[in-house]
Amino acid sequence: MAKENNYILIEQIGYTKKIIMNKPEKRNSLDEVMISEMRDYFDEFSTDNETKTIIICGSGGDFSTGFSLEYINKISKYDALENKKDSDNYKNLLLSIYNCRKPVIAMVDGYALAAGCGIASACDLIVASNRAQFGYTEVKIGFVPAISMMFLLKRVSVSNAKDLILTSRFITAIEAQRMGLVNYVIDDNMLETYVENLCKDMNQSSFTSLLFAKEILRNAVNMSFESALSYAADMNVIVRMTEDCKKGMMKFLTKDFSQHIKKKKT
């Protein structure tokens, strides 16, 4: 299944939705319409029953180079209220990615720069090709990646965040992996297959377990250690009461018992 809405292409591969930024002639640069449309898709796929995992990527060999020149020219003329509305639009996109109930994987090939890098930073996992490059380039034009920075700090140390933001330098996928920004680096001709197989493996897991695991991971990081432990214990009780957990435990026990009997007979 595929459907197109302006510069966003949606594909469905089994239980995986693929959100494709589809403006290759401009390296998938962003504007307010693309940002709003992507946010709407993430909100939709977060709660539907047809999606277990989500991939976000760009077409034409790049992830995204951030705001388009036309968009930058437009916001340079905004007043304070217009700037606030526009900033909230981008913030809400990153929050919709970060708070999505389903695992979100950024599949990064080519450039992921500025706001494009911010989108990747908000995802659960980043899988990059060996030709990918990352950079927060905003300070070069007198801007600050204030919103993206908050999500970057959830992935890398303050020291590495300072390095990336203050220098505006581009880094390779390998260096990004060393920093903790990227999870996996894959040969570029195997990138799509690897990510789709990664999602296929996750899709075989319990739907309920994936939802709870994401929720716990998202909430616990903002708590003290003791509060997080109490929260985890409470969530453990809830998860154990779900049908998925009961069926999974019974299946495991039955399989384990059958294997044990078979070994005894041999």
Hey, which residues are catalytic here? 138
Q: What is the largest CA-CA distance in the chain?
A: 80
CA–CA distances in Å: residue 79 to residues 5, 73, 82, 226: 29, 13, 5, 45
Residues 6+ away with beta carbon under 8 Å from 178: none
What are the residues facing 212 on neighbouring strands? none
User: In whole angstroms, what is the distance from residue 142 CA to residue 146 CA?
Assistant: 12
Residues 6+ away with beta carbon under 8 Å from 140: 168
| Number of neighbouring beta carbons within 10 Å of residue 174 | 13
* DSSP designation for 204: T
Q: How many residues are recorded in the chain?
A: 266
**End-to-end Cα spacing for the chain:** 49
How many distinct helices (H) and strands (E) make up the chain? 11, 10
